[in-house]
Amino acid sequence: MPETDARPEPAVTAHCRVTVAGPLSQAATRALESQYGQALSIDHVNRETVLDLNGLDQPAIRGVLTLLWDLGHNVVAVTNQSTERSS
């Protein structure tokens, strides 16, 4: 039987920036603020909305993108800086 490493795998968290064409709908703003609270910053730059989210893991980032797409928003760009943390 092969030995297994009992150490937990590090979780990957990220600072994620999502740029959306135009303003956010009220539904998207409410849902994002409710779900991500202090981890979320919303800014309006030129004719786009920029969402900065801190401390998200990969599934949470996917959740943000799915929410935006489901509400009909055009995601223009997604960037992230990942860091590993072990716990």
Q: What is the pLDDT of residues 4-37, one digit of tens each?
A: 555 555 556 678 999 999 999 999 999 999 999 9
Q: What is the CA radius of gyration of the chain?
A: 16
| 3 Cβ contact partners less than 8 Å away, ≥ 6 residues apart | none
The predicted-structure confidence for 66-85, as pLDDT tens digits, reads as follows: 999 999 999 999 998 776 65
Q: What is the pLDDT of residue 74?
A: 97
Write the CATH number of the domain with boundaries 12-80.
3.30.70.3100
Q: Is 26 helix (H, G, I), strand (E, B) or coil?
A: helix
- Checking if the pLDDT of 44 tops 60, the result is yes
Picking from 63, 22, 74, 73, the residue whose alpha carbon sits closest to that of residue 40 is 63
Count Cα neighbours of 35 within 13 Å in the Cβ-side half-sphere: 15
pTM for this structure?
0.76
